[in-house]
Amino acid sequence: MGSPMYGFHNQNNILYLKLFFILLFMGCIPDRTTNQPSNQLLATPTSSANSLNLTSALETLSLDGYFTFKNNHHAAKDFGNTFQSLPLAVLHPKSVSDISSTIKLIFELGSASELTVAARGHGHSLQGQAQTHGGLVINMESLKAQQMQVHIGEQPYVDVSGGELWINILHETLKYGLSPKSWTDYLHLTVGGTLSYAGISGQAFRHGPQINNVYQLEVVTGQGEVITCSENKSPDLFYGVLGGLGQFGIITQARISLEPAPKMVKWIRVLYSDFSSFTKDQEFLISSENSFDYIEGFVIINRTGLLNNWRSSFNPKDPMQASKFNSDGRTLYCLEMAKYFNPNETDVMDQRTESLLLLLHYIPSTLFLSEVSYVEFLDRVHLSEIKLRTKGLWEVPHPWMNLLIPKSKIHDFADEIFGNILTDNINGPILMYPVNKTKWNNNTSLVTPDEDVFYLVAFLSSAVPSSTGTDGLDQILTQNTRILEYCDRAQLGIKQYLPYYRTQQEWKAHFGPRWQAFIQRKSSYDPLAILAPGQKIFQKAIPIL
161: which strand partners?
A: 253
- What is the number of other CB atoms lying within 10 angstroms of the CB of residue 181? 18
Inter-axis angle of helices 96-109 and 49-59, nearest 10: 140
Chain-centre distance for alpha carbon 363: 33
Q: What's the distance, Cα to Cα, between the start and end of the chain in Å?
A: 37
| CA 431/CA 539 separation, integer angstroms | 34
| CA 89/CA 106 separation, integer angstroms | 13
- What is the number of other CB atoms lying within 10 angstroms of the CB of residue 12? 8
Q: Do 44 and 133 form a contact (C-beta atoms < 8 A)?
A: yes
For residue 348, give the amino acid letter: V
| CA 268/CA 367 separation, integer angstroms | 7
Chain-centre distance for alpha carbon 93: 22
User: What one-character DSSP code corresponds to residue 397?
Assistant: -
In order of 102, 379, 445, the CA distances from 240 in angstroms are 22, 29, 5
| CA 500/CA 518 separation, integer angstroms | 16
Q: Which residues are catalytic?
A: 124, 185, 296
- What is the number of other CB atoms lying within 10 angstroms of the CB of residue 175? 9
Render 233-251 in DSSP notation, one character per residue: SSHHHHHHHTTSTTSSEEE
